[in-house]
Amino acid sequence: MYAIIRTGGKQYRVAQGEDVKVEKLESKAGDQVVFDKVLLAGEGENVRIGNPFLEDTRVIGRLRRHGKNRKVVVFKYKKRKNYRRTRGHRQEYSLVRIENIEA
């Protein structure tokens, strides 16, 4: 069974037993996390679509750890104007193991 959840302004396709990198959550490592904004849930031809969310469905996971993604380099350049700016950014994330999809 799989589900599509919304968290941190993004949508993720999750299945039971897999690890998902989501935007940083305000929980500690080892805490249980409940995602109740489920957009779609199903398996095979038995698929339910929410309008916009499914009320009786939720995804339960366990927060494994926090971390930072790889660095993204932002380089601005204007030709013939001697203008160059380099910035770097590392987005924080939370690694969540999906334990159960309650439908």
pLDDT digits (tens, 9 = 90+) for 21-80: 999 999 999 999 999 999 999 998 999 999 999 999 999 999 999 999 999 999 999 999
- What are the structure tokens assigned to 82, written together? 């001697």
Q: Return d(Cα 76, Cα 83) in angstroms, integer.
A: 8
Pick the closest to residue 59 from 23, 34, 41, 31 (CA basis): 34
Q: Which pLDDT tens digit goes with each residue over 77-101? A: 999 999 999 999 999 999 999 999 9
